[in-house]
Structure 1
């Protein structure tokens, strides 16, 4: 039993309030997963800059030096450009004006123990062990600007309680996936993806789902098609929320065992594991509110 709260703000005037709105939603799902939590926030100008790749690394005590990263990226950085290292809560952010793959390669060479939890130009991923409200407070969620965001509170069932096992899983640029449920055949799907050259960072079943979606997108699927294909390959009981740089999708398994509720207005679309997480959103009294149908993929774009 995990908790999901996701919000996409169509009205730009609401985006300065993203952090406070998501914090309110998160507070109502903490009892669904009290052991760890994760956040992904898109288009926050204090965390991400278009034209710069940003890696979210687990932990705040990695002692990563921008000078070391610059030395490894010297031949790739534009003249006068440098990398930047920042600490946000329990997360280390590394940014530079190079392709994400190049930045990740430089970090891996300089700090092979570093674990990349998020990547891209538009998303920052923050994950940690502990009570979800405390995790959000340490990362300063309340005051964050954003165009869309997703949060997850975890009750571990398939792997240990670690920051790396927390959701969201971000395994491709600006792609995030959160999951309530379990995939029963994740081991066999993992083996097949490895056979195709896909690399994994953990034993978590949710990472298999994220890697599968990323693989299908790389093969040319759009987000909706990738999730339709996921439903044909991965068995289990699940509700998934997947976000990209400019879209959000929700899907439940064909039996719809795991809860989900969606609310939508002209200004925003929100999804949560329980209605009470939506109750304080502005204009909720006029929202279209519904439970997503089993096996159907719902998508929205900014």
Structure 2
């Protein structure tokens, strides 16, 4: 049992409120997942630049002069902001692959990368995770979050959601996949590898692999219904929006709400309670085996 939240803002003037609204939604889902929590925020973009989010259990040591060391290694300027156990390094998109290689060689865990996406996740109660990263103060166009109750893998930072296997793309999941090891092997033969034992990362890799092969996001999400066995609700974030799909029997709870200002997703309606204008929202349960997607 896990909790999922997602919020897509239709109006730019609401962007400064994104983190505050998502934090309330995330904390409301605590009893669905008290082990760990995470959130992906889609914020400002700098043309020609990529943000790489990394994590370390020893941030004071790992992040000390990291920006300078990375600048020397990739021969390109680097800027860095440190938030608790995470650091976001901004580099030119032309050196992204080299920068990630260097960061991994230094033993840092890659949370995700992209022009707009930053991912923060840690072990602990959602309210504590949100406080550590200052999520309430983060702005952006949209975001997705997850509270986890671990059932099939250890309670670790790398086991927490969201999972990202492609630039500006990430996934959160409620449910369980029965053929994730088989799919992991298929993806590995294509050169697509995962970093954790979590089945959700396989789902993320499947979607990004399909898109890399030329599928649209909608087609990739439709493919999960055919190719991934088990029960699931997937919510995926992209640079331009977010998508939702449930398994054919819709085993896990899900609800959506839409107003002129936003589209929201949650595992339970109570996560919407404090959203502005929720009393006048169109509220519905997403249909089984049906893809929903909103983009800017």
TM-based fold match above 0.5: yes
User: How far has the Cα of 1:115 moved from its partner?
Assistant: 1.2
Name 1:84's counterpart in structure 2.
79
Residues 281-290 or 93-102, more deviating: 93-102
User: How far has the Cα of 1:90 moved from its partner?
Assistant: 2.2
1:220-267 Cα deviation digits (max 9, x unpaired): 111110011111111111111001000210011001010000001121
Name 2:11's counterpart in structure 1.
11
User: How far has the Cα of 1:54 moved from its partner?
Assistant: 1.1
- 1:242-281 matched pairs, under 5 angstroms: 242-281=236-275
- Looking at structure 1, the residues matched to 113 and 36 of structure 2 have their Cα atoms a distance apart, in angstroms, of 20
Name 2:102's counterpart in structure 1.
106
1:50-86 Cα deviation digits (max 9, x unpaired): 4321111122342352121111111xx3xxxx21222
- Looking at structure 2, the residues matched to 38 and 166 of structure 1 have their Cα atoms a distance apart, in angstroms, of 7
Match of 1:228, SS?
helix
Match of 1:220, SS?
coil
- Looking at structure 1, the residues matched to 176 and 261 of structure 2 have their Cα atoms a distance apart, in angstroms, of 32
Question: What value does the CA root-mean-square deviation take over the aligned residues?
Answer: 1.2
User: How far has the Cα of 1:296 moved from its partner?
Assistant: 0.4
User: How far has the Cα of 1:168 moved from its partner?
Assistant: 0.2
- 1:146-295 matched pairs, under 5 angstroms: 146-295=140-289
User: How far has the Cα of 1:183 moved from its partner?
Assistant: 0.3
- Looking at structure 1, the residues matched to 199 and 184 of structure 2 have their Cα atoms a distance apart, in angstroms, of 9
1:180-225 Cα deviation digits (max 9, x unpaired): 0110110111111111111121111011000000100100111110
Using the size of structure 2 for normalisation, the TM-score is: 0.95
User: How far has the Cα of 1:42 moved from its partner?
Assistant: 0.5
1:135-169 Cα deviation digits (max 9, x unpaired): 00110011111100111000011210000000000
The answer as to 2:135 corresponding to 1:141 is yes
In the alignment, is the contact (CA less than 8 A) between 2:4 and 2:266 conserved in 1?
yes
- Looking at structure 2, the residues matched to 287 and 40 of structure 1 have their Cα atoms a distance apart, in angstroms, of 24
In the alignment, is the contact (CA less than 8 A) between 1:240 and 1:252 conserved in 2?
yes
1:76-102 Cα deviation digits (max 9, x unpaired): x3xxxx212221122122211233323
- Looking at structure 2, the residues matched to 31 and 274 of structure 1 have their Cα atoms a distance apart, in angstroms, of 11
In the alignment, is the contact (CA less than 8 A) between 2:241 and 2:293 conserved in 1?
yes
Structure 1 stretches (4+) deviating beyond 6 angstroms?
none
Match of 1:158, SS?
coil
- 1:59-74 matched pairs, under 5 angstroms: 59=56, 60-61=59-60, 62-63=62-63, 65-74=66-75
Match of 2:236, SS?
strand
Match of 1:149, SS?
strand
Match of 2:129, SS?
helix
Which consecutive residues of structure 2, in runs of 5 or more, have no partner in the other structure?
Answer: none
The answer as to 2:88 corresponding to 1:93 is yes
In the alignment, is the contact (CA less than 8 A) between 2:49 and 2:90 conserved in 1?
yes
Name 1:125's counterpart in structure 2.
119
- Looking at structure 1, the residues matched to 139 and 80 of structure 2 have their Cα atoms a distance apart, in angstroms, of 20
Name 2:31's counterpart in structure 1.
31
Match of 1:251, SS?
strand
- Looking at structure 1, the residues matched to 250 and 167 of structure 2 have their Cα atoms a distance apart, in angstroms, of 29
Residues 54-63 or 211-220, more deviating: 54-63
- Looking at structure 2, the residues matched to 98 and 294 of structure 1 have their Cα atoms a distance apart, in angstroms, of 38
- Looking at structure 2, the residues matched to 3 and 49 of structure 1 have their Cα atoms a distance apart, in angstroms, of 32
How many residues are treated as equivalent by the alignment? Answer: 291
- Looking at structure 2, the residues matched to 50 and 40 of structure 1 have their Cα atoms a distance apart, in angstroms, of 20
